[in-house]
Amino acid sequence: MDSLCFSSFLSGSHSNFCVLRSSPASPVGSSRAFFYNRLNSKSFQKQIHFNHRCVGFYSLSCSATLSVTPEVEEKQAFDAEKANLLVKELRKSFNSGRTKSYEWRISQLESIAKMLEEKEKDITDALQKDLSKPAFEAFISEVSQVKSSCSEAIQELKHWMKPEKVKTSITTYPSSAEIVSEPLGVVLVISTWNFPFLLSMDPVIGAISAGNAVVLKPSEISPATSSLLANLLTEYLDNSAIRVVEGAVPETTALLEQKWDKILYTGSARVGRIVMSAAAKHLTPVILELGGKCPGVVDSNINLQVAARRIIGGKWACNAGQACISVDYIITKREFAPTLINALKVELEQCFGKNPMESKDMSRIVSPSHFGRLVKLLEEDKVSDKIVLGGQKDESKLKIAPTILLDVPDDSTVMQEEIFGPILPILTVDNLEESFDIIRSKPKPLAAYLFTNDEQLKKDYVQNISSGGMLINDTILHVATKGLPFGGVEESGMGSYHGKFSFDGFSHKKSVLYRSFDADSTIRYPPYTPQKEKLLKAVISGNIFQIILSLINGVV
Amino acid sequence: MEREVSGMRKYYESGKTKEASWRESQLKGLRSALMEKEEDILKALKQDLGKHHVEAFRDEVGILGRSIDVALKSLRRWMAGREAKLPKIAVLSRADIVPEPLGLVLIMSSWNFPFGLSLEPLIGAIAAGNAAVLKPSEMSPACSSLLATILASYLDNNAIKVFQGGPQLGQQLLCQKWDKIFFTGSAQVGRIVMSAAAQHLTPVTLELGGKCPAVVDSLSASWDTQVAAKRIVSAKYGSCAGQACIAIDYVIVERNFAPVLVESMKAWINKMFGENPKENNSVARVVNKQHFSRLKNLLDYPEAKNSLVFGGSMDEDSLFIEPTILVDPPLESEIMREEIFGPLLPIITVEKIEDSIQFIKSRPKPLAIYAFTNNKTLQRRMSSETSSGSIVFNDAIVQYVADTIPFGGVGGSGFGKYHGKFSFDTFSHEKAVMQRSFYTDFWFRHPPWTLNKFQLLQAAYNLDYFGMLLVLLGLKKTRRYSIWAAM
């Protein structure tokens, strides 16, 4: 079973790779080829001890690129100088004004839509390679999200771009005013590995909709998707204004030294601080999409089967818990915990079968280092005896079974750090209101979940818990919901995006005020007289009656 | 200080500041403070900056009163948030955007409008339900200490405090963890503020400045020229003597039209501020010696001096600088490279007024652009080809009063916006809240994955309800064999 899966995976990947390399329309420059090569050889090192078949694939890709760029590697390191040239080039394109036009924006968005249609399989294949993400999960959580985001942008763009007319008050009468959305300039999107396609393309769609030139830096930890993005964006989009830079820390550092007009970063709070500090040097506004320990409070009066499924959907079926909005831990009533655990057990079996380690419907852990980190969480003294379900791990496949921990102490690492994996601690309390204190004792999370039918509890939860987003009686869905902003608060980040919010995030809202030369009242100007003062007070407070009174009393 | 700050955080966490009634009571307190202490405020502004009391009322007290009224009137509506429309597939669901306070915020204001730039953000912070620390500028000491006394006696001191001090206090405050920092001042300090904020992942709003140009078209009607000149003179010298982030920094005009404009401006300067503005106290003074000598140096630059056409006299003792006009100082001189922030006005001449667009574009994005023109094409080009915090046609500075448009910079002039509802938003987090019921649970959302589920999901995501029906009835053809084959 396993070998069958992998051999087909291998052949699928291989053919995908050939398509990319041989595409004549794709002007893969030498620098791009270099990254391609370098990253692949790097990932080659990484993958070597976990999967022999992968080694086969990667060595194959290496030999394919090696012949093209053996000596380029030395010269073409992407350093600050290169980054500077890149930004200059894009700034030139931006300054030409081309990217501002509706036509340019829509043409780029339509190309993305076309790319999504034509390359769907390549995308799911890359995600399969990087994360063993099941094709369907990849489709649901990444491809289709990008599709809907792109089609919304295409549909709404005209509407979004339209200046917003606003009323003006008597203070500035007569005048008219509008708020114009204008692009910020050249923006940087740094994305991450857990949803490497979605978290790259969704912000890029926003940046393009708003008329910016954009550089995307995908994560080196998901190399297949990273290089796929580099190739696809080169092939489908206007490269004078939209670029992909692949790489790791040195490349990111080189990029961060440049002056950007906006940076959208998705990742950890630690790197978020670095990004924001770098941005401060150039006074660049940032959107930081971070994570946090997203709690799920579970009441006892609920439809247990549905709730259990939805928790699974937001934990294990969501990239094996490697998602910033994944349920991190659960709080429930002490006496209800066994019932909940049992329901989760039953539903988990429904989803992933009796032996979840063999299930193809759950992603693997992204890298050996993250695998090691998760294993450490489980092996901690205070934690290892709290495992009530799962706990199996397979280092060679980077798989960890859906694992539930009951009542781990709060000072354990698993309760102090964002878990980002298929481990779910369940904390028990006597009274659900106690959960508020537990949640509030931790940094504000990106999402907070609650399962209950108690209306008062819902109200209190919304009122008292601060988090980026909040979803009652389900998980994750709020992020895919049109019309809602997606973004964190405090440690879970700042700024928001998705749909119109992406457009706004990458736009500057310029106030435009039109006045005429007619009707110029003298009261604004010196020399100041007591009468002017009176009338001025009336005008500023906007009180028409007072204005008339002052006028009758003989000013001007 | 640290103890006080942590006390404030505790108080915030008690939830008191979130209550609508608390917010209203504080806004009302602030309004009574303004009304009852108006005279003291005008006096302090006179003392620190030599502002005429009518100017001080127009630019600070008056506007603040209006802002409070707007906030009080709109508070409940702002707090209610808004509902997001959901597609049909989300039956029995509801989505709202709920604004919630950020927590404990820091407002660092500036000396040029010590009341306006302190209290305008504070109104937003209070309206949004935050606890707030205000650090006014040590360079306007009378205003700072008055702010401290007034706020202490009119507002809830558990949640709103004023800390007075200089850069050292600023540094100490920046080491603390805040949930938002709202800073008004220079780009240089803005960078320090943002770097410090990064350590705590604190969002910031930076209200900086920049060289705000005023483009003056060759106006054909003499009435228009008169009005334009009057508005320019007032916006430059009549608002804290040009020490304003949205003051006109320089004027661009066609070469032929320059003399006309200059003559008209001279006449208006005399009319508005009198023959001897220093004596009759109609123009504010420079804030301190350091700024005075900075301005003096700008003018002492030899080639700048040669371009002087009006004014130029200075009195170091009273820190007074006369309204001054220069025509075509060299573009590489300090006065055309730095933000002037004083009553010196360079006039740059160009061949064609359209050249001004390129001139502005080649410089950092200013906080405001002013354009005096009746030419609609020029207006359109100016608005679409340049970038700035705001753009105003045929007037200057008035955008500060308009609470329906956002006030804030872009690029070098800062980021984030405030005034009116925008202040409330700046100090709020928009929480996305979605509620679902247990009744509709689509089985096709969960693994194990099958082709049937896949098709249903696709249809659902496309909001293709008919397609979903076809799949359910087994009538839909599949085109997605490839993914199945790969499994």
Same domain, B216 and B358: yes
Q: How far B415 CA sits from the closest chain A CA (Å)? A: 7
Same domain, B193 and B233: no
Contacts of B369 in chain A (CB under 8 A): none
Show contacts of A455-460: CB within 8 Å, 24+ apart.
A457/A299, A457/A432, A458/B435, A460/A433, A460/A436
Question: Is there a domain that residue B281 lies in?
Answer: yes
Question: Does B259 lie at the interface with A, CB-CB under 8 angstroms?
Answer: no
C-alpha closest to that of B463 among A201, A122, A155: A155
Same domain, B106 and B244: no
Q: Flag if A472 and B435 touch (Cβ within 8 Å).
A: yes
**Is the CB of residue A453 less than 8 Å from the CB of residue A301?**
yes
Whether residue B113 has pLDDT greater than 70: yes
Q: How many CB atoms lie within 10 A of CB B109?
A: 28
Provide the pLDDT for residue A41.
38
Q: Flag if B403 and A169 touch (Cβ within 8 Å).
A: yes
Whether residue B279 has pLDDT greater than 90: no
pLDDT tens, residue order, chain A (556 aa): 333 333 333 333 333 333 333 333 333 333 333 333 333 333 333 333 333 333 333 333 333 333 334 444 444 689 999 999 999 999 999 999 999 999 999 999 999 999 999 999 999 999 999 999 988 889 888 998 999 999 999 999 999 999 999 887 656 667 789 999 999 999 999 999 999 999 999 999 999 999 999 999 999 999 999 999 999 999 999 999 999 999 999 999 999 999 999 999 999 999 999 999 999 999 999 999 998 999 999 999 999 999 999 999 999 989 999 999 999 999 999 999 999 999 999 999 999 999 999 988 889 999 999 999 999 999 999 999 999 999 999 999 999 999 999 999 999 999 999 999 999 999 999 999 999 999 999 999 999 999 999 999 999 999 999 999 999 999 988 888 888 999 999 999 999 999 999 999 999 999 999 988 876 666 777 777 777 777 777 776 666 666 666 656 544 3
How far from A68 is each of A78, A225, A247, B22, B76, CA to CA, in Å?
Answer: 18, 21, 19, 69, 65
Question: Is there a domain that residue B437 lies in?
Answer: no
Task: Look over chain B and give the mean of its residue pLDDT values, rounded to a whole number.
Answer: 91
Q: Which residues contact B159 (CB under 8 A, 6 or more apart)?
A: B8, B11, B12, B16, B17, B26, B131, B132
Say what percent of chain B tops pLDDT 90. Answer: 77
**Is the CB of residue A189 less than 8 Å from the CB of residue A245?**
no
Question: Is there a domain that residue B414 lies in?
Answer: no
Same domain, B143 and B73: yes
**Count of alpha carbons within 13 Å of A416, Cβ hemisphere only?**
9
**Is the CB of residue A402 less than 8 Å from the CB of residue A345?**
no
**Is the CB of residue B162 less than 8 Å from the CB of residue B152?**
yes
Same domain, B281 and B161: no
Residue B245 pLDDT grade (very low, low, confident, very high; cuts 50, 70, 90): very high
- From CA A270, how far away is CA A287, in angstroms rounded? 14
Q: Flag if A166 and B199 touch (Cβ within 8 Å).
A: no
Nearest by CB to B398, from A136, A274, A513: name it. Answer: A513
If you count DSSP H runs as helices and E runs as strands, how many of each does chain A have, helices first? Answer: 23, 18
Q: Flag if A474 and B434 touch (Cβ within 8 Å).
A: yes
Provide the pLDDT for residue B70.
94
Same domain, B259 and B404: yes
Composition of chain A by helix, strand, coil, percent to 5:
55, 15, 30
Provide the pLDDT for residue B79.
96
pLDDT digits (tens, 9 = 90+) for B337-381: 999 999 999 999 999 999 999 999 999 999 999 999 999 999 999
- From CA B264, how far away is CA B277, in angstroms rounded? 18
Same domain, B376 and B474: no
- Residue A37 belongs to what H/E stretch? helix A30-47
Question: Is there a domain that residue B413 lies in?
Answer: no
Question: Is there a domain that residue B255 lies in?
Answer: yes
A60 class by beta-carbon count within 10 Å (0-12 exposed, 13-18 middle, 19+ buried): middle
Contacts of B388 in chain A (CB under 8 A): 510
Provide the pLDDT for residue A77.
83
**Is the CB of residue A243 less than 8 Å from the CB of residue A200?**
no
Same domain, B38 and B64: yes
Question: Is there a domain that residue B231 lies in?
Answer: yes
Question: Is there a domain that residue B179 lies in?
Answer: yes
Query: Annotated catalytic residue: which of A220, A324, A347, A418?
Result: A324
Same domain, B128 and B264: no
C-alpha closest to that of A384 among A328, A423, A356: A423
Same domain, B69 and B139: yes
Q: What are phi and psi of B286, to 5 degrees?
A: -75, 145
> Which residues of B are tagged catalytic?
207, 245
Q: Flag if B438 and A302 touch (Cβ within 8 Å).
A: yes
**Is the CB of residue B35 less than 8 Å from the CB of residue B65?**
yes
Query: Annotated catalytic residue: which of A137, A220, A289, A347?
Result: A289
Q: Flag if A474 and B97 touch (Cβ within 8 Å).
A: no
Specify the number of domains making up chain B: 3
Same domain, B369 and B454: no
**Is the CB of residue B131 less than 8 Å from the CB of residue B17?**
yes
Same domain, B200 and B244: no
More confident residue, B234 or A518: B234
Q: What are phi and psi of B239, to 5 degrees?
A: -125, 90
Q: Flag if A124 and B483 touch (Cβ within 8 Å).
A: yes
pTM for the full predicted model? 0.89
A·B CB contacts under 8 A: 325
Interface mutation target, options B16, B271, B410, chain A, most CBs of A under 10 Å: B410
Question: Does A177 lie at the interface with B, CB-CB under 8 angstroms?
Answer: yes
Provide the pLDDT for residue A70.
40
Expressed as residue numbers, the domain containing B482 is 442-486
Question: Is there a domain that residue B459 lies in?
Answer: yes
**Annotation marks residue A324 as catalytic:** yes
Whether residue B441 has pLDDT greater than 80: no
**Annotation marks residue A491 as catalytic:** no
Provide the pLDDT for residue B348.
97
